[in-house]
Amino acid sequence: MSRAAGKLRLLHLHSSFSPGGKELRAAKLMNLFGPEIAHTVVSGVPGALGAAEAVDPAVDVTYPAHFPSLSGKPLPGRLLTLARAMAGFDLVLTYNWGAMDAVVAHRLFARALGLPPLVHHEDGFNLDEAQRLSPSRNLYRRFGMAGAEALVVPSQRLEAIALDMWRLPPAKVRRIANGIPLGRYAAKPPADALPGLAKQPGELWLGTLAGLRAVKNLPRLVRAFAAMPSEWQLVIVGEGPERGAILAEAARLGLQGRVHLPGFAPDPAAVVGLFDLFALSSDSEQFPISVVEAMAAGLAVVSPAVGDVAAMVAAENAAWIVPPPGDDTLGAALAGAAADPARRAAVGAANRARALADYDEAAMLAAYRATYAGALGRSSFP
């Protein structure tokens, strides 16, 4: 626990703090809230703390090595231990299914232990629930989140699930669209902005920003990319356990020299403008920040119609959002986009206009401040 005297103390319980969309958003919010708040960040996957690179060194944050495990059998003794570990903070913030035992522990013991208020954040589902939510998990979520002050979701689909399946009252559900600092995406980055990988004259880049996890199905993107002309390179910016599977698929298709995995980029605004076209291949998404970043950089987007993606992009981009899962149609959409640079440019301009209108970081920050202030019974936050 942070010992900074007089500071508001926030406990963050993450399913993982590897660099993905929700983790980088949490890091961004920590930076924006500034040094007057003390943060304690716990990863449900021990050692998975890669998103810490995106936290400003000026932020007061600790990563305890011996916090009770967020996973295990939900037995009363273990849940009580989890609940006791939440004492002493001012606000508990939990994230996704991997922190749901903590949400349930809080529901069971908050009154007896005098625990701080809790706000849960749900950004999507793992591969095992990509196609169908587990009924037993839904019951568990419904029970746990009934004790939360608020549930924050980024997408229309998750908002509907929260109201219909988890039966939360509308006043408890906050839909906050992911926002970014739009102005930083306007300029083209230098060709060598990615360490170890420089864009060569005449090259065109199909790019994506993604944690290399199974639910992102990046081998599908490699297969779809195979239909693109030889001047195109596939650049997958991110890190994670699926790196080997992605490289193996590239090797199987003879694409080793055209598929590049430069690793995690802590500042997407400094690299996404190198792309000439943006793509997703995920089995499940909700409101992916990477799509907003691509739109802000003036890129067209090719993606399966997962989560809110079809509603996020400009109307001009609609033809390149294909029916999921996308195995048969993603490659054709990519090839079509590659063959029409004028249309790519027009779609990218429409996407940037949509991003400027709807996805501003300041609006997102204000909504989070209001949600956390409300949970604390305050008029402002911090």
Flag whether pLDDT at 183 surpasses 60. Answer: yes
DSSP string, 136-185: HHHHHHHHHHTTSSEEEESSHHHHHHHHHTS---GGGEEE----B-GGGG
On the question of a cis peptide bond just before residue 229, with omega within 30 degrees of 0, the verdict is no
Domain contains 381: no
Same domain, 320 and 221: yes
% residues pLDDT > 70 (the chain): 98
pLDDT for residue 303: 98
Same domain, 204 and 311: yes
Same domain, 25 and 165: yes
Q: Which pLDDT band holds residue 326 (cuts at 50, 70, 90)?
A: confident
- Give the H or E element holding residue 263: strand 259-263
Q: How far apart are CA 145 and CA 86, in angstroms?
A: 16
Same domain, 168 and 230: no
Same domain, 175 and 193: no
Lowest-confidence region among 127-141, 182-196, 285-299: 127-141
Same domain, 174 and 203: no
pLDDT for residue 132: 86
pLDDT for 99-156, tens place per residue?
Answer: 999 999 999 999 999 999 999 999 988 778 877 899 999 999 999 999 999 999 999 9
The three-point CA angle 262-268-270 to 5° equals 90
Q: How far apart are CA 189 and CA 297, in angstroms?
A: 10
Find how far residue 372's CA is from the centre of its chain: 19
pLDDT for 80-97, tens place per residue?
Answer: 999 999 999 999 999 999
Mean residue pLDDT across the chain: 95
pLDDT for residue 5: 64
Instruction: Give this prediction's pTM.
Output: 0.79
- The mean pLDDT value for 179-189 works out to 94
User: Residue 264: which residues within 8 A CB-CB, separation 6 or more?
Assistant: 19, 50, 53, 237, 238, 239
| Helix, strand, coil distribution of the chain in percent, nearest 5 | 45, 15, 40
Same domain, 117 and 206: no
Overall number of domains in the chain? 2
Q: Which pLDDT band holds residue 4 (cuts at 50, 70, 90)?
A: low
What's the CATH code of the domain at 243?
3.40.50.2000
pLDDT for 333-354, tens place per residue?
Answer: 999 999 999 999 999 999 999 9
Lowest-confidence region among 16-20, 258-262, 346-350: 16-20
Same domain, 102 and 134: yes
- The mean pLDDT value for 2-11 works out to 77
* Closest to 250 in 3D by CA, of 273, 226, 286: 226
Core vs surface per residue 249-262: b (16+ CB within 10 A) or e: bbeeeebeebbbbe
Answer whether 1's CB lies under 8 Å from 84's CB: no
Q: How far apart are CA 285 and CA 246, in angstroms?
A: 19
pLDDT for residue 21: 84
Domain range for residue 147?
A: 8-179+361-376
Residue owning tokens 């019951």? 139
- Better pLDDT: 314 or 266: 314
Q: Looking only at Cα atoms, what is the longest distance across the chain? A: 66
pLDDT for 29-72, tens place per residue?
Answer: 999 999 999 999 999 999 999 999 999 999 999 999 999 999 99
Same domain, 207 and 168: no
Same domain, 348 and 212: yes
Domain contains 326: yes
Q: How far apart are CA 149 and CA 120, in angstroms?
A: 8
pLDDT for residue 7: 93
- Better pLDDT: 124 or 318: 318
